[in-house]
Amino acid sequence: MRPRSIASVSIRAFCLFVLSAAASAQTAPKEPPPLWDVQAGASFVGTSGNSDTTTVGADFATHHRGRVWQFESTATAVRSTADSVKTAERYLGQARGKRDLSSIVGLTAGAKLERDRFSGIDFRSLADGGLSWHLVRMPAWTLDGVTAVGWDHEKLSTVADVDDPTGVLQLQSRIPFGAGADTTQRITFYPDLKTSDASRAEGEVTAQAAMSAHLALKLGYLVRYSHTPVPGFKKTDNTTTASIVLRFRSDKPAPR
């Protein structure tokens, strides 16, 4: 079976699993979020015989909810080979801190590191600071935003390094399906404040459903767009992942 066929079957099975969980879930009292939670996921697809391919992926996420500041961080890695030749490799890590000033607006600061030589990026770093927004707060839907300014440093494979001021405009929503499943959607726009043609954008959709207290299935789709990519590379990159996730959370609730 080809990797694409495996991914297609996995996506269909996962969607059926999430819909089943949503249909059977009962309305439960809302529990306070934990003081902290951590999850790590892994995925693997391999073929041999007429084709020899290997794709491995890993992701990590953590949240800490203090009385004043909240911190979150994520990291992902994807590596693929075909006939012992590397065909894809990307590493991404980011962290963000937030402090509420009111029920709607707060302060935020973040940092992001990236390496993707198959997109012409030997190294990219972005540090930003600005405002966070609680736009919608409902049991069935939450919507948050970020408006920030920062500095983008890029070491590229075929052209000179880039050091430009940039903006961060982000919307992220979450829709729960009962107590054991949810889906998130994120759109992030990075306007280059020095060269408008160098702006970038990202869109990401994830769905996750619990199998037990510590295990879950996760499906994700990420699309990245660069208006002016590194010469010789395409404007758009797409990544689809399906992984098994190991989760842990604190027994203590977050302070109010």
The reported pLDDT for the residue numbered 185 is 97
φ, ψ of residue 51 to 5 degrees: the values are -135, 150
- pLDDT tens, 99-137? 999 999 999 999 999 999 999 999 999 999 999 999 999
What number of other Cβ atoms are within 10 A of residue 86's Cβ? 12
| pLDDT score at 252 | 93
Q: Which residues of the chain have pLDDT under 50?
A: 1-7, 9, 18, 21-22, 24-28
Q: What is the DSSP string of 141-160?
A: EEEEEEEEEEEEEEEESSS-
Please give the pLDDT value at position 158. Answer: 86
What residue ranges define each of the domains in the chain, with the CATH number in brackets? Answer: 3-26+37-249 (2.40.160.40)
Tell me the pTM: 0.85
Give the pLDDT of residue 26: 44
Per-residue tokens: 198? 């160098």
Q: Given this model, what pLDDT does residue 25 score?
A: 43
Cα–Cα separations (whole angstroms), residue 104 to 75, 131, 145: 28, 10, 10
Residue 160: CB partners within 8 Å, gap ≥ 6?
none
